[in-house]
Amino acid sequence: MAATREAVLEHWNQPSFWQRLTVADGLWALLVIAGSGYAYWFYQPYMDRYEVAIQFGATLALIGWGRYWPPARAFTLAVAALTVLALWRYGANYELRKSAFLLKYLLESQAAFMWMSTLYVLATVTYFVALFSRSEFIGKTAAALTWSATVMGMTGLLVRWRESYLLGADIGHIPVSNLYEVFVLFALITALLYLFYEDRHRTRAMGGFALLAISGAVAFLLWYAFGRQAYYIQPLIPALQSYWMKIHVPANFIGYGAFALAAMLGVAYLLRVGAEAHHPDGVLARVLPPAELLDDVMYKAIALGFAAFTIATILGALWAAEAWGGYWSWDPKETWALIVWLNYAAWLHLRLTKGWRGAPMAWWAVIGLFVTLFAFLGVNMFLSGLHSYGSL
Amino acid sequence: MNETTLCKPLRRRTLGWVLLEFFGSMNLAITLLVVVAIASVIGTVLQQNQSYPDYILKFGPFWFAAFNQIGLYDVYGTGWFIAILAFLILSTSVCLYQQAPGMLREMTRFRTSVQIDSLRGFHQQAEWWLPDHDSRTVQADITSAFRGFGYRWRIQDHGDHQVIAVMKGRYNRMGYLLTHAAVVTIGVGGLLDGNLWLKLKEWRGELAVETRDLSAREAPPISRLAPGAIPTFRGNVRLPEGSAANFVFLRVRDGFLVQELPFAIELKEFQVAYYDTGQPKSYTSEVLIHDQEYLGDQPLAATIRVNHPLVYRGYAIYQSDFGDGGSKLELKAWPLTTARAEPVAAKGEVGGVIKVGGPTAGALSLELDDFRLFNLLPEPNAQPGDRQFRNFGPSISFKLRDAVGAAREYLNYMAPVQIDGRWFYLSGVRAQPGAPFSYLHIPVDANNSPERFLRFNARLHDASGLRKLLALPAAGGDPDFQRDLNQVRLNLVELFAQGGFMAITEKAKAVVPAERLQEATALYLNLLRETLAEVFVAVLREEGVSVEQELGERENAFFNDALSALAARPAYGSPFYLQLTGFQQVEASGLQVTYSSGAVVVYAGFALLIVGVFLMFYTSFRRLWAWLAVEDGAVRLILAGTGNRRPAEFAREFAALQTALERRLGSPLSPPPSLSPADTLKEAH
Ligand code: HEM
């Protein structure tokens, strides 16, 4: 052989982490650092040292996220551009939201959430059309709609964050403080998780199902906004004035989002196996994603959800230790978080140690969504406890 | 995964073996996970640790006792619940005990003795037949490829063949150990912080829960815990401004215990700050810690806020709630059921009781429960969800208890409230705790006071005054008819003053035949209304209001509102209206003090859990083997491997490795293994 040992070695050696970094990666990191630095310079007077640490962590996470999953970069840049535009248009005048065209019809948080809602519902329909028509173009459109909806929603949240400061320096807070705001967060996170799996598994066949869960959330959001006038920015009650909220709530919603996604994939799985058994030549059996894929992604989503939920519950316990005098009080919300967690622990054990697959696990994932939904919503609606600020 | 099987059987079938087998079984573990989840639901559906009388009210005596028997009012502290938690911990420990040695062995040992057939059975495998190679260079090529992929390996010479055993991702197994060790650690820490210590002391007869209504000082020694008597507690104390305490109350079932502290907490000041919207912004206690032993004569000053506790000597002190610390109140009691129109002035203190000589037999006791400076409430006519709030100003709440012990609860606002453009003094009443208040709306007079209404009301109870007022004959009428009519009017007013409109309709039902009832009732009501208007005009005259012409719009509205209030008065139940005329607020801060020795253990468990879960999910344990033999001057190489997680990724990794080797060694014999997800998924376990 002509090749030298060295040449062969060089080929075999997988490039190290540092070698694999590209110029784009470097640019990305610089951009994130610059943006975060600007935000720090701007908001530093409002932050305590824990919040500075959280911002630092978030900056690293964003750099890592963009590196791990390149579409996240374009997403972040789009959100950042729109947010900066809105902030620039607002200046220091909150009342402009009612008069400035750009704000009133596009970027004011409420307007942005309406765009988000509309686009998600359109995306849901489009994904299903793509599924049945098997059209690549329509599929791409559906994905673009989902991305746009997510950009609008995320922009809305960031703008709302700023709006809360415009309302009063002492009122300013991260918009994850009530059911209305976290429902937006839920829709966004579920969409991002789905888009990630869509990208990694190179299939859009799961889209309609994932987006169905999001459309459900959107329906609730609209009812809550218009039926209950829930969209006002409210100042934080003392119990919520803590940096823990910034990490506890988002971590929780990664969990909820992942579980919701898993449940919807469970539904698709059951439809698929049902179709295969009863109408093997029917249209469903032809267009639905393969059962193995659904099963695999369902597992991945539950694993991710479980990991995030573990962190979220632990953060919640640490927060409780600081706010309520004990890391565990058997408060209904806490207890339901434990129930959700135990439920998925049991699911994971059955799958991993007993090797259970297929319909029973899919059913369980679907039921898991109801357990999760109760922890997320039912507790606030039906039970009273220390978490009562989230009540409807 | 084919290497580790669940909880391997031990050698002998002893009792210990049977127990280990039972507790380590996966079925038990999954069952317990689900059972704990289901049992936990109970305590979220039934509100925990409420007062026992509330439960009796809710369930009735029989079910109250039954539920109490199985501890439903404090589910998470009952023996049976703790027992299932303990079982889960035990089961996890046993599983860990059984698995750990195997996992550790797996992490450290290269499997250098493998059979060629089992390698050929792997999904990920490739075989080369290399006539013009020698085994040394092939081996060097393979190991350098392994190095490139970051594998660790060991070479074993078996004489006729060599095995290069490879491992990567040992941390995945570590993840299992950490996760399950974390569950045990958190469980043990949690149990340490639970109520076991109290239960133990109670069981040994060293401690008894006090169920009488005693102050901390009065509690007997058997209900007291010295500092350090138990390693963990969570207690509360309510401190009025300017007072101090060196104890907290532990609520246990329907009673309490007194936990003494090795220091005293003095509340200097309690403050509530508000946003511009009127919602509370912060609750702050300025405290001094007095601790002769540690601080000498110099107390430690500190500020405690929600989310910002003070940790002192391992005791954490939290802002938990607040209330009244004995505000001084100036009150006026206006009689409602007698002819007397002057109020009785009284002074009281929140938390105190005033004896009231009632007009009926037996004294009433007036229990002053609470004073509030602000009452931020939804707008009276707001749609649900409107989020419009108004500050209704200071209020007092009190109970009126009769000689038998039955009580009604009242809530009176100090300042008048505007509703539909008119102003009222509001007084709420309810006979059941927790029921919504129904409000008496007392219209406000020209002096911004309830006086006019109260004088009007008093006149209705003044039979002789009424007789005089109504006796004026109408000019030119029939005197007999006039007398009878006046008597009817007097009776109507008396009936109305006792029982409202209901009393009139009841009376009509009793005396008028059914066919004329409607007509007669209307007649009575009209007559009553006219009569009351006469009385009202007299009240106005007395006040000096000119009533020569028609009543003004304001007086008319007042009259209508007064009638509604009078009609509601009988249901109000109190013989007087208690007006708050002055106050000096004394606030009290509710502090929670905790001591938790299990927290360190639990937090350590948290750290283990997070690390463990991520290692378990996001690293994968991989083993590969290269089997090398020289046969007929050629080298036979078999490469095979398996990963315990993410089969698709492992398949890709294996393919990359194989490609790398192909460049050096040429194509393998067998076609590359299928990469379809169906295949790779099955292989994972
Ligand atoms: C609250 C209790 C427990 C929790 C939270 C927990 C958590 C977990 C998690 C998250 C996994 C990983 C599942 C996956 O990768 O998909 C796992 C795996 C496993 N668990 Fe548990 N577990 C608990 C109790 C137990 C008990 C009691 C047993 C023993 C009977 C057990 C035995 C196992 C085994 C054998 C595995 C598979 C390990 C492997 O080969 O990778 N676990 N556990």
A127-150 confidence digits (pLDDT tens): 999 999 999 999 999 999 999 999
pLDDT band for position A165 (cuts 50, 70, 90): very high
State whether B223 and B318 are in the same domain.
Answer: yes
Look at residue B9 and tell me if it is in a domain: no
Q: Which two tokens stand for residue B586?
A: 């004394």
State whether B24 and B101 are in the same domain.
Answer: yes
pLDDT band for position A19 (cuts 50, 70, 90): low
Look at residue B13 and tell me if it is in a domain: no
State whether B678 and B626 are in the same domain.
Answer: yes
Look at residue B521 and tell me if it is in a domain: yes
Give the chain B residue nearest A355 (alpha carbons). B685
Pairwise CB contact (< 8 Å): B281 & A229:
no
Pairwise CB contact (< 8 Å): B26 & A352:
no
Residue B36 with chain A: CB contacts under 8 Å: 338, 342
A236-266 pLDDT, tens digit per residue, is 988 899 999 999 999 999 999 999 999 999 9
Q: Which residues line ligand 1 (CB under 6 A)?
A: A 303, 306, 345, 348-349, 352-353; B 4, 6, 24, 26, 29, 33, 88, 91-92, 95, 99, 176, 179-180, 183, 613, 616-617
Ligand 1: which of B28, B36, B92, B104 to mutate, judged by most atoms within 8 Å of the beta carbon? B92
State whether B474 and B567 are in the same domain.
Answer: yes
Chain B: closest CA distance from residue A203 (Å): 14
Look at residue B267 and tell me if it is in a domain: yes
What is the C-alpha to C-alpha distance for residues B64 and B56, in angstroms, rounded to an integer? 5
Q: Which two tokens stand for residue A388?
A: 């009562």
Is any Cβ of chain B less than 8 angstroms from the Cβ of A172?
no
Pairwise CB contact (< 8 Å): A352 & B613:
no
Look at residue B81 and tell me if it is in a domain: yes
CATH number at residue B672: 3.30.160.110
Got the DSSP string for A325-361?
SSS----HHHHHHHHHHHHHHHHHHHHHHS---SHHH
Is any Cβ of chain B less than 8 angstroms from the Cβ of A241?
yes
pLDDT of B361: 53
pLDDT band for position B396 (cuts 50, 70, 90): very high
Of A1, A339, A385, nearest to B37 by CB-CB distance is: A339
Chain B: closest CA distance from residue A102 (Å): 27
Is any Cβ of chain A less than 8 angstroms from the Cβ of B236?
no
pLDDT of B201: 93
Confidence check: pLDDT of B268 > 80: yes
State whether B67 and B95 are in the same domain.
Answer: yes
Q: Which of B298-312, B353-367, B555-569 has the lowest mean pLDDT?
A: B353-367
Cα-atom radius of gyration of chain B, to the nearest Å?
Answer: 42
Is any Cβ of chain A less than 8 angstroms from the Cβ of B389?
no
Is any Cβ of chain B less than 8 angstroms from the Cβ of A235?
yes
The three-state secondary structure class of A220 is helix
Domain range for B409: 328-332+345-443+581-587
Q: Which of B57, B76, B105 is the endpoint of a domain?
A: B105
State whether B505 and B551 are in the same domain.
Answer: yes
What is the CB neighbour count within 10 angstroms for residue B216?
Answer: 18
Ligand 1: which of B21, B95, B103 to mutate, judged by most atoms within 8 Å of the beta carbon? B95
Count of domains observed in chain B: 5
State whether B290 and B215 are in the same domain.
Answer: yes
State whether B476 and B564 are in the same domain.
Answer: yes
Pairwise CB contact (< 8 Å): A325 & B281:
no
pLDDT of A144: 97
State whether B282 and B220 are in the same domain.
Answer: yes
Question: Exposed, middle or buried: residue B548 (CB in 10 Å: 0-12, 13-18, 19+)?
Answer: exposed
State whether B150 and B251 are in the same domain.
Answer: no
Share of chain B above pLDDT 70, in %: 93
B577-636 pLDDT, tens digit per residue, is 999 999 999 989 999 999 998 999 999 999 999 999 999 998 888 999 999 998 888 899
Question: Which atom number of ligand 1 is nearest to the Cα of residue B32?
Answer: 27
State whether B649 and B558 are in the same domain.
Answer: no
pLDDT band for position B4 (cuts 50, 70, 90): very low
Asked whether A319 and A300 are in contact (CB, 8 A), the reply is no
Look at residue B453 and tell me if it is in a domain: no
Asked whether B71 and B12 are in contact (CB, 8 A), the reply is no
Interface of A with B in 332-371 (CB under 8 A): 332, 335-336, 338-339, 342-343, 345-346, 349-350, 352-355
Residue A349 with chain B: CB contacts under 8 Å: 26, 29-30, 33
Dihedral, CA atoms, B529, B532, B537, B538, nearest 10 degrees? 160
Helix ranges, chain A (H): 5-12, 17-20, 23-43, 49-68, 71-90, 96-99, 101-102, 109-133, 136-167, 179-201, 207-222, 244-278, 283-287, 291-323, 332-353, 359-373, 379-382
Question: Which atom number of ligand 1 is nearest to the Cα of residue B172?
Answer: 41
* φ/ψ of residue B642, rounded to 5: -150, 150
Question: Which atom number of ligand 1 is nearest to the Cα of residue B175?
Answer: 41
Give the chain B residue nearest A332 (alpha carbons). B44
Side-chain half-sphere exposure of A61, counting CA atoms within 13 A: 8
Look at residue B10 and tell me if it is in a domain: no
Confidence check: pLDDT of A152 > 70: yes
Confidence check: pLDDT of B278 > 80: no
Give the chain B residue nearest A169 (alpha carbons). B275
Pairwise CB contact (< 8 Å): A339 & B41:
yes
pLDDT band for position B263 (cuts 50, 70, 90): very high
Name the amino acid, one letter, at B582. Answer: G
Look at residue B602 and tell me if it is in a domain: no
Q: Ligand 1: distance of its center to the CA of B94 in Å? A: 12
Asked whether B658 and B669 are in contact (CB, 8 A), the reply is no
Asked whether B118 and B626 are in contact (CB, 8 A), the reply is no
State whether B219 and B289 are in the same domain.
Answer: yes
Give the chain A residue nearest B140 (alpha carbons). A5
